[in-house]
């Protein structure tokens, strides 16, 4: 089955900005943190914010303390004044596009124009807009309502930013019949317009549409109406648990779109449920899915990939082929990733519930796998010498202490970075460093190799390979990582810059391999390994263009790059 996800699905700019402002505030300030009303129309996001201690303030008390964030919809000037008068510190997270509409109403109402708002009278954004029109505004929802407006000389027409374009144009024609002069400002957000147009187009190409988002979200409801109006079966769900995947049996093409308040991890879960019915524990999962799931969830394929990368690094260093260092690398990665998956189950409940469920159901076998799978690495390292063994012990300790406080909270200078995970970009950098340590440095300690420019280039090779892998997954998990306070490159510099960084890194990797081979700093294997710099570029570009979607297939493809390196190294070794 082909599944197409609309490019404009998920958080719009205004919602993303508001969520990030709330998260930054919750992590930065002391004291209570509130949002005035639900931040967005999505129960799952609100539940996560509640877990971080962010409460919803429904009524304004006479006296209060703490910080209140105004949600993306905005509020009336009178409401903001009451919040400040009550003693709250107010942070305005109103969407910039909504602020633009507010200013238009402020200006033209003062100049004597009759404000007319196309929207839903009970929507928070519209309530705020009416307040900026000083209460003297007409809210219309249909052409008929517009034709019933009293006649006047001049009017200013704006729209709730998430309204339907076709509806707005119909109302505009009706308003022209009631007023002599019209100031027409089509303030429907470009993102909303693109989202609706894309939903219309996609609905004509598929056999069914899945619309993901809160049932109370106006813009999501309109997407569902647009899809259903195109004549295809349409399913509006908040989470993957509401899906009846049997409805898609026999279909060849299904489309997925999502409202502006839907986070990407929920879209991923819905996509996985449609693509792989076994994610929901239901019938329809084939042998291929079961095998992929087992290899991914147990981290066995990842451990094998680490061994392959280590083997390639050994040959790049000019060392004779051996399995001891790859065994150490595979054992270490297996132990670390299973352990950290146990620790990170809070995040996995949202961005990968299938993994969280797998770990909950198989705690004892997975713990045994971590122990007995990790033990051979320590045994082999001990046999190779104290340098290898102590290095492995140290990097294992660092890996397990990632979530543990390093120093007392009283040390204010370090207060913000009490844990390693609090350091900007730490998750991405530490993972790459740990992998480079076991795949490139440990072979040197185990078998001896000169500390020269060749060693530096091999360390860069391993680090760049792992950084590219980790950064791809960081982009996928950026929203949930911000929620659970994981500091990755993507949460630090943003997904767009991270994708650019991946491309630059892979181009640099190709350059290092070519230069190292030409100048004989590295053996001719360096030229053979060039596909390992090209393959992730192809995967990344396919993901950006929507040809690849998050899931087990993408994980296997990304990790297969390490297996490719090992396979090339084995083939090269047989030729020389």
Report whether 388 belongs to an annotated binding site.
Answer: no
Question: pTM of the prediction?
Answer: 0.69
Compute CA 405 distance to the chain's CA centroid, rounded to the nearest angstrom.
26
The DSSP H or E segment spanning 345 is: helix 345-351
Distance CA 527, CA 114 (A): 71
Q: Which of 58, 125, 409, 487 is catalytic?
A: 125
Q: What is the pLDDT, as a whole number, of residue 53? A: 87
- Whether pLDDT at 483 is above 80: no
Strand, coil or helix: 164: coil
111 is catalytic: no
User: Tokens 């209570």 correspond to what residue?
Assistant: 32
Report whether 362 belongs to an annotated binding site.
Answer: no
Report whether 123 belongs to an annotated binding site.
Answer: yes
Report whether 313 belongs to an annotated binding site.
Answer: no
CATH code given to domain 12-95: 3.40.50.11270
Mean pLDDT lowest among 79-93, 167-181, 209-223: 209-223
Report whether 439 belongs to an annotated binding site.
Answer: no
Report whether 219 belongs to an annotated binding site.
Answer: yes
272: confidence class by pLDDT, cuts 50, 70, 90: confident
Distance CA 238, CA 416 (A): 35
- Whether pLDDT at 418 is above 60: no
Report whether 549 belongs to an annotated binding site.
Answer: no
CATH code given to domain 193-285: 3.40.1010.20
Report whether 271 belongs to an annotated binding site.
Answer: no
Distance CA 235, CA 74 (A): 30
Report whether 261 belongs to an annotated binding site.
Answer: yes
- According to DSSP, the residues that pair with 90 across neighbouring strands are 68
The DSSP H or E segment spanning 574 is: helix 552-575
Identify which of 218-222, 461-465, 491-495 has the greatest average pLDDT: 461-465
In this predicted model, what pLDDT tens digit does every residue of 11-51 receive, in sequence order? Answer: 888 888 888 888 888 878 888 999 999 888 778 788 878 88
What are the residue ranges spanned by the domains of the chain? Answer: 12-95, 97-188, 193-285, 290-575
Q: For 212-226, what is the mean pLDDT?
A: 89
Domains 12-95 and 193-285 share a fold: no
- Whether pLDDT at 278 is above 60: no
CATH class of 97-188: alpha beta
């Amino acid at each position: 089955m082909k599944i197409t996800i609309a490019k404009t699905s998920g958080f719009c700019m205004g919602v993303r900005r508001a969520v990030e402002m709330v998260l930054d505030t919750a992590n930065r300030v002391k004291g209570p943190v509130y949002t005035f009303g639900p931040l967005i129309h999505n129960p799952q996001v609100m539940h996560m914010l509640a877990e971080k201690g962010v409460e919803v303030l429904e009524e304004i008390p006479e006296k209060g303390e703490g910080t209140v964030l105004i949600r993306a919809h905005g509020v009336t000037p009178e409401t903001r004044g009451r919040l400040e008068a009550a003693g709250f510190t107010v942070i305005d997270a109103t969407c910039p596009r909504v602020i633009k509409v507010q200013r238009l109403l402020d200006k033209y109402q003062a100049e004597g124009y009759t404000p007319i708002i196309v929207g839903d009278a009970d929507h928070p954004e519209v309530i705020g807009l009416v307040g900026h029109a000083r209460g003297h505004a007409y809210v219309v929802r249909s052409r008929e309502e517009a034709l019933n407006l009293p006649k006047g000389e001049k009017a200013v027409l704006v729209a709730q930013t998430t309204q339907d374009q076709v509806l707005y144009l119909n109302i505009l024609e009706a308003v022209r019949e009631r007023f002599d002069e019209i100031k027409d400002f089509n303030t429907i957000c470009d993102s909303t317009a693109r989202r609706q147009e894309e939903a219309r187009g996609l609905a004509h190409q598929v056999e069914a549409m899945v619309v993901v988002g809160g049932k109370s979200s106006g813009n999501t409801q309109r997407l569902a109406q647009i899809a259903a109006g195109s004549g295809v079966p349409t399913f509006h769900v908040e989470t993957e648990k509401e899906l009846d995947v049997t409805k898609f049996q026999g279909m060849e093409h299904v489309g997925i779109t999502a409202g502006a308040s839907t986070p990407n991890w929920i879209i991923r879960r819905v996509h996985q449920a449609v693509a792989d019915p076994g994610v929901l524990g239901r019938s329809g999962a084939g042998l291929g899915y079961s095998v992929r799931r087992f290899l991914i969830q147990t981290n066995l394929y990842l451990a094998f990939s680490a061994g392959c990368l280590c083997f390639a690094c050994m040959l790049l260093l000019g060392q004779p082929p051996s399995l001891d260092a790859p065994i150490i690398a595979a054992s270490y990665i297996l132990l670390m990733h299973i352990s950290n998956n146990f620790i990170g189950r809070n995040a996995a409940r949202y961005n990968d519930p299938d993994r969280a469920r797998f770990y909950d159901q198989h705690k004892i076998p997975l713990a045994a796998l971590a122990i007995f799978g990790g033990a051979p690495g320590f045994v082999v390292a001990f046999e190779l010498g104290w340098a290898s063994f102590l290095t492995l012990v140290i990097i294992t300790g660092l890996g397990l202490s990632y979530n543990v406080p390093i120093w007392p909270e009283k040390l204010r200078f370090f207060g913000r970075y009490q844990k390693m995970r609090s350091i900007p970009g730490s998750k991405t950098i530490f993972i790459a460093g740990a992998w480079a340590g076991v795949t490139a440095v440990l072979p040197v300690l185990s078998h001896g190799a000169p500390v020269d420019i060749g060693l530096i280039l091999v360390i860069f090779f391993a680090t760049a390979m792992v950084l590219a892998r980790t950064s791809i997954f960081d982009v996928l998990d950026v929203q949930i990582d911000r929620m659970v306070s994981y500091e990755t490159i993507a949460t630090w510099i943003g997904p767009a810059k991270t994708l650019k960084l991946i491309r630059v890194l892979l181009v640099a990797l190709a350059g290092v391999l070519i230069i190292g081979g030409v100048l004989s700093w590295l053996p001719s294997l360096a030229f053979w390994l060039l596909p390992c710099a090209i393959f992730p570029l192809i995967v990344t570009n396919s993901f950006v263009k929507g040809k690849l979607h998050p899931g087990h297939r993408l994980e296997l493809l990304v990790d297969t790059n390490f297996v490719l390196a090992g396979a090339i190294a084995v083939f090269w070794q047989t030729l020389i």
